[in-house]
Structure 1
Amino acid sequence: MRLPEDFLNKMSALMEKDEYESLIQSYEKPRYYGLRINTLKISVEEFLKISPFELEPIPWVRDGFYYREGESPGKHPYYNAGLYYIQEPSAMLPGEVVDSQPGERILDLCAAPGGKTVQIAAGMKGRGILVANDISSDRVKALIKNIELCGVRNAIVTNETPQKLAGAFPEFFDKILVDAPCSGEGMFRKDQDAVKSWEKFKSEKCSAMQWDILEQVDKMLRPGGYIIYSTCTFSPEENEKMISAFLSLNNGYEVVEISTVGGMERGRPGWAEGNQAVAGTVRLWPHRVKGEGHFAALLRKKAGESRAAAYIPSDSDSRNDVRLNFFRSFAEENLSEDLNIGGGGYFDIKGSNLYAFPERVPELKGIRVAKFGWYLGEFGKNRFEPSHSMVVSLNKQDLKNTIDFACDSKELSSYLKGETLMLEGEKGMKAVCVNGYTLGWAKQMDYMLKNLYPKGWRRMS
């Protein structure tokens, strides 16, 4: 691999000779591949019983595993069922450091494509408020798809600048993940494009963006809350020096030490003018761990009196909208009787679209919202059309009418391609499953099963 000359010179000046040579040699070795089991849909124990892949635990994450090069988990039907998310092993660390819990308010500020978002959502177990934001409207599309694929019900997806969000969520969040845009040096082995983009987006430009982001993040975090800051670069300017500078200008914060496992290394005070506080941060190096380069810091905002006014939740609630009767009729015919959608939270109808959310949220007027909570479906003329997002967020036992295919069956292959299946059955909506895990909707006609699998999700072969 050909690495930028400026990068080589920089790392050579920062590191001892032996370590520098080990780092450079690591680029000639094979990369590592990982997946994280989606515990919103299946437990780790249950997935290991049915896994079609040989898996090895990743040391720094509870539900992450290495799989062998040459395996194709993205082509297996269990991927379409959202049982796992494919993710570079080191990139799973920040989501683990978040340690999300049910009922918390969490912001994933630079969220696309969504790997860390769905990891956080798994810990929240459908309770609390998860705001997933990305400033790129194109990247938000992938973020929404991955959130829906993994069955996340309590996420609001926004497409905003940190400044706009800070105005809508003053001291609102318990935890904020900043997986900051960075120079990407840690991804050189994984992605050749990262080498090319490094020439355009070097650490000086990235560190300026990171600083602007952190200034806004402080405004959105409640006293006693946590910032999880991470990058996929080696640059001290974007890592230890960034944390040191933030601490020096924000004395209301302290570093919470992250435990080191599996070859992880502590942050280097010598790269931050000797600031010992950064020793509580961690680094993942490709020559020390089975993964790519990453940095993570956990910062706690010291407890104190909140300066923000108590937030006023939106009064939007569509429980009394007459169109809900169409949804209730659909639910009575198709959903389990003990599945009380909206019962613990509230419904919201935006245009003709129906959403559910576990609790009330702040007024979001002026904020670009790309997805609001659990998208259930759309109202037509005297009817309700359920969404794909609804069915993939449900378990088989939540549904009255299902059809189940084996993962290696021809019928399942045809369904995932969007083809009509010539099958007899009782008329009506059916949830299609693979070995008991939901994939999508179909509609049973007289002698055929009409395919309702979304076009943008279908397989080409």
Structure 2
Amino acid sequence: MAQISQQFIEHIEKQLPESVPLDDLLSACQCPLRKSIRANTLKMSPQELRQEFESHGYKLLPIPWCEEGFWVDEDEKALPENLGNWLPHLEGQCYIQEASSMLPVKALLHDFECHEESAFLDMAAAPGSKTTQLTAKINNQGLVVANELSSSRIKGLHYNLQRCGVTNSVLCHTDARHFGESTPEFFDAILLDAPCGGEGTVRKDEQALANWNIDAVRAISQLQKDLIVSAYKALKPGGRLVYSTCTLSKEENQEVCQHLLDLYGDSIQIKPLTDLFEGANKAITKEGYLHVYPNLYDCEGFFVACFEKKPSDVLITDNTSNQNTRFSFSPISSEHYTSASTHTSLFGWDIGPIKQQLWQKDNRGKSLEIWYLPKSTEKLCRHIKLNRYGIKLMEISKHGVKLHHQAAISFGHTFSKQHIELNAQQAEDYYQGKDIFLDTPIKAPTNKEFMVTFKQTPLGLVKHLGNKLKNNLPRDLVRDKTFNQLP
């Protein structure tokens, strides 16, 4: 049973709309949270995900605000506890994500025109659920900056972006309150899923409301106000800003939005979310925000507000000096492009279409790294320091050219040669870091570097030694327990 502070009950009762009776809210807070999952359309269609689950006896229910999302009806059949070790999840074909947290990206992209030069900012990105949802919806177009203040969460964020095949993102590790000053009017769209009190998460965290107090709410509300002002300043005129939380109190929601409007109401306006999805009217506030209480859609509590910055007649210019000591890349040289393309041709991979986004970086004189960087990365680096850049594709050294794991994960779907399809047991072994022994040994090929796939989905790279495939999966990606079939 969830422990709910009496102070919270008295507090929220004063704020509830007439359409949400207190008893209904408290009753919903005591119910287990429905589990949900989202198809990553960079690698799997919603229809394929649904078919995979239903072939094993599970019942999926569509989430009305996310075409790729489904609730799993566990009254029909319960999910295994370790779903994160299921091969389609490890391969990035799906993402375990709470249903209401799929709302902010829906609001950000609803009727939004994305193009190849669009720049997006996810101000508080870890663990990556919304970033991966965003990049899939825009099909890896443009530039997505995934920022995370917590250093302990950066690694997990990078892992989720990598396994999901994201190629248009860079990672930043900074206090998001600095974006307004560092990157003024740089971004076309910004998602601020703000740090919050987490009141709406009580259905999965029974202690979320046990020690609630109003002072903590007011303290974090001040941080949220600073963040939303920073987001406003970093947004281009004509751009879009979505503010969201997984909490319920108006101090962290409507009052934060009103703070923005009080300061900049002459240049930013609310974009009502009334027609965001069928049934949205149940959660719409008088301002046009979505205030989702746990009992409304049988999910976590959530709040979503959408704003649009009014267009300006003033031409935006980048006056930042080109003298940038933070950017250690240079455009790929003709010599190194020839070496790289000769090697990738062995895999049937033509890197010609991405040549303009290929950059080289010296690795302390030991080798030369070739990277794929999203458009506008160099321009962005004039303003802020990045934690991780794009996709490392390969290294060129005196020993030759060697592909990197990320090259296979991100671009392996275009390889027409040098790949080997594994069976289910071999795929499990690969993720467990084991070498793969072949039933029919052959003479080791001249170029021993191969990609391995499972059900045509790239897993990573191996060294073909004739009688076995030496596992080259990075050690930090090894999983002790994996399974290929849902029970």
| TM-score w.r.t. length of structure 1 | 0.90
Which amino acid is the alignment partner of residue 342 of structure 1? I
Moved more, 211-220 or 43-52: 43-52
Which residue does the alignment assign to 1:273?
none
Among 451, 471, 475, the alignment partner of 1:451 is 471
Superposition map of 1:169-248 within 5 A: 169-192=183-206, 194-195=208-209, 198=212, 202-248=216-262
Check 1:198–1:39 CA distance in 2 against 1; reply closer, same or farther (3 A cut). Answer: farther
Among 332, 339, 343, the alignment partner of 1:319 is 332
1:102/1:125 contact within 8 Å kept: no
Check 1:201–1:433 CA distance in 2 against 1; reply closer, same or farther (3 A cut). Answer: farther
Check 1:197–1:363 CA distance in 2 against 1; reply closer, same or farther (3 A cut). Answer: farther
Structure-2 separation of matches of 1:87 and 1:57: 14
Unaligned runs of 5+ in 2: 482-487
Which residue does the alignment assign to 1:63?
68
Among 357, 360, 373, the alignment partner of 1:357 is 373
The Cα shift of 1:324 comes to 4.5
Superposition map of 1:56-455 within 5 A: 56-69=61-74, 70-72=78-80, 73-99=83-109, 101-103=114-116, 104-192=118-206, 194-195=208-209, 198=212, 202-251=216-265, 252-258=267-273, 259=275, 261=277, 263-264=279-280, 265-269=282-286, 278=287, 280-306=288-314, 308-310=316-318, 316-320=329-333, 322-337=335-350, 339-340=351-352, 342-349=354-361, 351=363, 352-361=368-377, 362-365=379-382, 367-406=384-423, 409-423=424-438, 424-425=441-442, 426-427=444-445, 428-455=448-475
Structure-2 separation of matches of 1:202 and 1:317: 47
Structure-2 separation of matches of 1:68 and 1:410: 29
Check 1:4–1:368 CA distance in 2 against 1; reply closer, same or farther (3 A cut). Answer: farther
1:346/1:357 contact within 8 Å kept: yes
The Cα shift of 1:230 comes to 0.4
Instruction: Give per-residue Cα distances to partners, 1:153-199, cap 9 Å, x unaligned.
Output: 11011001234433442211110000011111001111245346855
Unaligned runs of 5+ in 1: 270-277
Which amino acid is the alignment partner of residue 184 of structure 2? P
Moved more, 4-13 or 190-199: 190-199
Which amino acid is the alignment partner of residue 343 of structure 2? F
Secondary structure of residue in 1 paired with 2:67: coil
Among 19, 22, 28, the alignment partner of 2:21 is 19
Structure-2 separation of matches of 1:197 and 1:418: 43
1:153/1:373 contact within 8 Å kept: yes
Which residue does the alignment assign to 1:5?
6
The Cα shift of 1:267 comes to 4.4
1:35/1:86 contact within 8 Å kept: yes
Which amino acid is the alignment partner of residue 291 of structure 1? C
Secondary structure of residue in 2 paired with 1:186: helix
The share of aligned pairs that are identical, in percent, is 27
Which amino acid is the alignment partner of residue 55 of structure 1? L
The Cα shift of 1:209 comes to 0.4
Instruction: Give per-residue Cα distances to partners, 1:330-382, cap 9 Å, x unaligned.
Output: 21222434x43632533242634432124233152573312111221344443
Moved more, 39-48 or 433-442: 39-48
Structure-1 separation of matches of 2:20 and 2:190: 37
Secondary structure of residue in 1 paired with 2:317: coil
Which residue does the alignment assign to 2:485?
none
Which amino acid is the alignment partner of residue 93 of structure 1? L
* 2:59 is the alignment partner of 1:54: yes
The Cα shift of 1:395 comes to 4.4
1:240/1:267 contact within 8 Å kept: no
Check 1:402–1:17 CA distance in 2 against 1; reply closer, same or farther (3 A cut). Answer: closer
Instruction: Give per-residue Cα distances to partners, 1:384-439, cap 9 Å, x unaligned.
Output: 33222221112444241112234xx3222211111111113453222121111111
1:260/1:282 contact within 8 Å kept: no
Structure-1 separation of matches of 2:151 and 2:315: 32
Check 1:194–1:383 CA distance in 2 against 1; reply closer, same or farther (3 A cut). Answer: farther
Moved more, 174-183 or 214-223: 214-223
Which amino acid is the alignment partner of residue 358 of structure 2? Y
Aligned-residue CA RMSD in angstroms?
2.6
Structure-1 separation of matches of 2:458 and 2:30: 41
Which amino acid is the alignment partner of residue 172 of structure 1? F
Moved more, 42-51 or 101-110: 42-51
Which amino acid is the alignment partner of residue 201 of structure 2? M
Moved more, 122-131 or 85-94: 122-131
The alignment of Structure 1 onto Structure 2 pairs a total of residues equal to 449
Structure-2 separation of matches of 1:281 and 1:302: 18
The Cα shift of 1:139 comes to 1.2
1:346/1:359 contact within 8 Å kept: no
1:396/1:402 contact within 8 Å kept: no
2:36/2:70 contact within 8 Å kept: yes
Check 1:109–1:348 CA distance in 2 against 1; reply closer, same or farther (3 A cut). Answer: farther
Which amino acid is the alignment partner of residue 432 of structure 1? V
1:415/1:453 contact within 8 Å kept: yes
Which amino acid is the alignment partner of residue 299 of structure 2? G
Check 1:144–1:399 CA distance in 2 against 1; reply closer, same or farther (3 A cut). Answer: farther
1:222/1:306 contact within 8 Å kept: no
Structure-2 separation of matches of 1:372 and 1:3: 43
| TM-score w.r.t. length of structure 2 | 0.85
